[in-house]
Amino acid sequence: VKHPHSDSMYCPKCGQGLATTVPEGDLHERLVCLDCQFVHYLNPSPVAGVVPVRDDGKVLLIRRDIEPQRGLWQVPSGFVEMDESTEETAARELMEEAGLGLSGELQLLNVYTARWGLVVINYEGVAQGEASVEHEVSEVRWFAPAELPWTELAFQSTESALREWMRRRGLGTPEPWATAFEG
Ligand SMILES: [Zn+2]
């Protein structure tokens, strides 16, 4: 699968084309500049999100208004910025995508690895305020555990987080996994 960074096939130091090879002393293939020996490391990008929970036990999901997976549901989440902690990213995305704040500390739910270049860190948090439809979102909705839309989830990372959230409450989840889209 195409890595999100694989378009940059030229050496950022000298501009020559990069070759794929295993550098001496390394165990993985890397993109290496055969001119100046620069090694262009590719590593996964971290994404952070939060399963927002209300005092009636419902959780909020957002419906995507952008591709990929437009029209399907996900946990509010996004890419971690350079100056953020993952908790700060999760809180910012919750506000940007659903207009919600948080009260109290975030609790780590799980970490999901998509092997094409993403690591998704999802928290659980107590939501504060009124949810609203924000940027790149077509709908926000509170779901009771029995109402969760397992067959309409956008990403395996969302399904993984919701399964862990259910497991901690002693609630069963569907078998097998419902979501095909790795990410
Ligand atoms: Zn170079």
pLDDT in tens, 93-134: 999 999 999 999 999 999 999 998 999 999 999 999 999 998
Residue 173 has what pLDDT?
Answer: 87
> Which whole number is the average pLDDT over 30-52?
95
Round to whole Å and give the CA distance between 126 and 124: 7
**pLDDT of 1 over the 80 cut:** no
State the average pLDDT over residues 139-152. 96
| Centre of ligand 1 from the C-alpha of residue 20, in Å | 13
Instruction: Provide the pLDDT for residue 4.
Output: 42
Residue 43 has pLDDT above 70, yes or no: yes
Query: E-strand spans in the chain?
Result: 18-21, 30-33, 39-40, 45-53, 59-64, 73-74, 77-79, 101-114, 118-128, 137-143
Average pLDDT, the chain: 92
67-104 pLDDT, tens digit per residue, is 999 999 999 999 999 999 999 999 999 999 999 999 99
Percentage above 90 pLDDT, the chain: 84
Exposed / middle / buried, residue 170 (Cβ in 10 Å: 0-12, 13-18, 19+): exposed
Q: Residue 22 C-alpha to ligand 1 middle, in angstroms?
A: 16
Name the pTM for this structure: 0.87
Instruction: Give the 3-state secondary structure of residue 147.
Output: helix
Q: What are phi and psi of 178, to 5 degrees?
A: -95, -25
Confidence of residue 9 (pLDDT cuts 50, 70, 90): confident
- Dist. CA 40 → ligand 1 center (Å): 9
* Distance from residue 98's CA to the centre of ligand 1 (Å): 44
More confident residue, 84 or 3: 84
Ligand 1 centroid to residue 149 C-alpha, Å:
49
CA of 1 to the centre of ligand 1 (A): 25
Q: Give residue 157 CA to ligand 1 midpoint distance, Å.
A: 37
* pLDDT > 70? residue 138: yes
pLDDT of amino acid 180: 80
**Gap from CA of 7 to ligand 1 centroid (Å):** 16
Q: Residue 183 — very low, low, confident or very high, per pLDDT cuts 50/70/90?
A: confident
Is residue 161 within 8 Å of 109, Cβ to Cβ? yes
Report the alpha-carbon distance of residue 165 to residue 162 in Å, rounded.
5
Task: Give the model's pLDDT for residue 125.
Answer: 98
